[in-house]
A and B are shown apart, each in its own frame.
Chain A
Amino acid sequence: MRSTAPVLSVRGATKRFGGLVAVNAMDFDVTEHQVMGLIGPNGSGKSTTLNLISGALKPTSGTISLRGTPITGLAPQTITHKGIARTFQLVRLLPSMNVRDNVVAGAVFGHRRRWGAEAAAHADALLDRVGLGGKGDMPVGQLTYIDTKRVELARVLAGDPTLLLLDEWLAGLNPTELRIGIDLIRSLRDEGRTIILVEHVMDAIRSLCDRCVVMSSGSKIAEGTPTQVLSDPDVIRAYLGDDDD
């Protein structure tokens, strides 16, 4: 079933900052309707990998393709047009606009474009979808933390992306919010969306991901189902360090 052509395919993607190799020859595929977890300890290069895919950074070498078409090194807006949308590790909203316009911002210039009343109606439908129904006219400054995350999620969904990149979307939520957040992402998964999830929350990884790629010091050290990778000795060593003896 999962042997269809990959939505995203990363081959040998490498990013150097001067002498530091932040991402080293990463290889992986994401197939249609798959939720892929990109995990690893802090500083292992997950976010940098995500930035290479979204176009925020240009790879030093390697190729990244979306449905077989290379998108390596394209500008972020071009990659967005082609169908990849992302959230940011630290939530980024548009402070001068209300909640609805924040979502409309994602609908007007994205993969699929809408404008005017159609864009506003689409935004309202998405706000309902993420649990913010009726809050469209609120200024974003009055939102709770999880609600700001919901607005950002609605904004990236607004362009009808082919592939969704969620950069630690669950980070910083309290236990109650975390349950709501996991349910929300699971509902996206149930809609058949293709998602790459950079995540630290183990419960989320276990319950949401079909496959995981584990990074350590910029390289891929394991790949497989969550159960497989989380019991892999290399992965445990990467998270917990070597024994002293």
Chain B
Amino acid sequence: MTAAEIRTLILAALALGVAALLPLTGSGYWLGLGLNIAMFTVLATSWALFSGPTHYISLATAAFFGLGTYTVGLGFETLPYWSLVALAGILGAVLAALVGLATLRLSGVYFVIFTLGLAELVRQVITWAQNMSGQKGLYVLTDITEDHIYWQLVGLAALVYLVGWLIGRSRLGFALRIIGDDEEVARHSGIDTARAKVLLFMVPGAVAAITGAMLAPRYVYIEPALAFTPMLSFQVVIMALLGGAGRLWGPLVGVIPFAILWETISSTFPNQTMLLLGVSFLVIVYVLPKGFVGLIDTVRRRLSNREGWT
């Protein structure tokens, strides 16, 4: 490892340590906000692992998230909680592999529409199954507190960063960057593009399902409209793009301001959250096409150029 890598590692460990101390403040407001930030950091970072290099915009986060939530909701009375979290991860990866095999051969826009449709499809199926069985929703009654959920999510975030860092240094990560640049060149350079994409798509699938499983106890009562809300998929995309999907730490830079803004707006103007989503989307498209990361890079380059002139 180089000196720069060791420094990054130490900084990351310190940041993680500080983040893990949040529940000790004893403030419900800060913990709630921290939980949201941790959840979206995990979702947006893992989303960007796949969608960053390939430029395939996935709107399926809610499908995987809801799958994880329901795994815990249906199984927590019979199986130990930890095994359900692991099971959710496996189910998420399997669903992602199936979706990937069916859609990743198609190009961009078909993939976007299919992933959006997938979340809706799963939601409708579960709603239908519940109506057949006469239930409306599921109670998830555990003794897991918000502190525990928060720590789990921080741990999961650490894992996602580690996996992302390893993928970035691996042949798979390199293959995905080539695919993102030119899929034709990738194929003719010897890359099995379909396999590489499916493999990497399984990562955000598994992570989103695990996140859903971890958050199920927080909701106490879950129903399809909550667990599979398409809003979640859009939030994740907007946050990741706002921060910048080209770097591992990019999504975090988008998640923190967006989550705070979202919290503020939904508590003071609860009906205007869609407006925030729309405005953010316009800002990304017109002002920040490469997110905050791109902005930071531009500013840095200008500064170093100016130094070059003097």
Contact between chains at A56 and B189 (CB < 8 Å): no
Residues of B within 8 A of A92 (CB): 182, 184-185
A105-B184 CB under 8 A given contacts A94-B178, A96-B177 = no
Quick check: is B192 within 8 A (CB to CB) of the other chain? yes
Contact between chains at B177 and A76 (CB < 8 Å): no
| Nearest CB of chain A from residue B223's CB, rounded to whole Å | 43
Which residues does A use to contact B, with CB under 8 Å?
Answer: 54-56, 75-77, 80-81, 85-86, 88, 92-97, 104-106, 108-111, 115, 155, 159
Residues of B within 8 A of A81 (CB): 190
Query: Number of residues in B with C-beta < 8 Å to the partner?
Result: 18
Cα A110 to Cα B171 with chains together (Å): 12
A105-B185 CB under 8 A given contacts A94-B178, A97-B177 = yes
Residues of A within 8 A of B191 (CB): 77, 109
Q: Could you jot down 5 A-B contacts, CB within 8 Å?
A: A77-B189, A86-B188, A93-B182, A96-B181, A97-B177
Residues of A within 8 A of B175 (CB): 108-109
Closest to B180 in A: A96
Quick check: is B187 within 8 A (CB to CB) of the other chain? yes
Which residues does B use to contact A, with CB under 8 Å?
Answer: 171, 174-175, 177-178, 180-182, 184-193
A77-B184 CB under 8 A given contacts A105-B174, A108-B174, A109-B175 = no
Consensus secondary structure, chain A interface: loop
Residues of B within 8 A of A88 (CB): 184-185
Interchain residue pairs A-B with the least CB separation, the first 3: A109-B190, A80-B190, A94-B181
A77-B190 CB under 8 A given contacts A56-B184, A105-B185 = yes
Residues of B within 8 A of A115 (CB): 171
With beta carbons under 8 angstroms apart, the residue of B180, B190, B192, B193 that contacts A110 is B190
Cα A94 to Cα B184 with chains together (Å): 11
With beta carbons under 8 angstroms apart, the residue of A94, A104, A111 that contacts B185 is A94
With beta carbons under 8 angstroms apart, the residue of B171, B181, B184 that contacts A108 is B171
Contact between chains at A111 and B189 (CB < 8 Å): no
Residues of B within 8 A of A75 (CB): 187, 192
Cα A86 to Cα B186 with chains together (Å): 12
Cα A85 to Cα B187 with chains together (Å): 11
| Nearest CB of chain A from residue B154's CB, rounded to whole Å | 32
Residues of A within 8 A of B189 (CB): 77, 80, 105-106, 108-110, 155, 159
Contact between chains at A56 and B188 (CB < 8 Å): yes
Cα A96 to Cα B211 with chains together (Å): 32
Residues of B within 8 A of A54 (CB): 188
Residues of A within 8 A of B188 (CB): 54-56, 76-77, 80, 85-86
Cα A96 to Cα B294 with chains together (Å): 13
With beta carbons under 8 angstroms apart, the residue of B174, B178, B187 that contacts A76 is B187
Closest to B188 in A: A76
**Beyond A109-B171, A109-B175: 10 further Cβ-contacts under 8 Å?**
A75-B192, A77-B188, A80-B188, A94-B177, A94-B181, A104-B174, A105-B189, A108-B171, A155-B189, A159-B189
| Nearest CB of chain A from residue B136's CB, rounded to whole Å | 49
Residues of B within 8 A of A105 (CB): 174, 178, 185-186, 189
Cα A106 to Cα B186 with chains together (Å): 9
Cα A155 to Cα B186 with chains together (Å): 11
Of the candidates B181, B185, B190, B191, the one having the most CB atoms from chain A within 10 angstroms of its own CB is B190
Cα A146 to Cα B190 with chains together (Å): 25
Closest to A95 in B: B181
Residues of A within 8 A of B190 (CB): 77, 80-81, 109-111, 159
Residues of B within 8 A of A94 (CB): 177-178, 181-182, 185
Cα A145 to Cα B122 with chains together (Å): 51
Closest to A161 in B: B190
Residues of B within 8 A of A111 (CB): 190
Of the candidates B171, B185, B193, the one having the most CB atoms from chain A within 10 angstroms of its own CB is B185
Cα A112 to Cα B174 with chains together (Å): 17
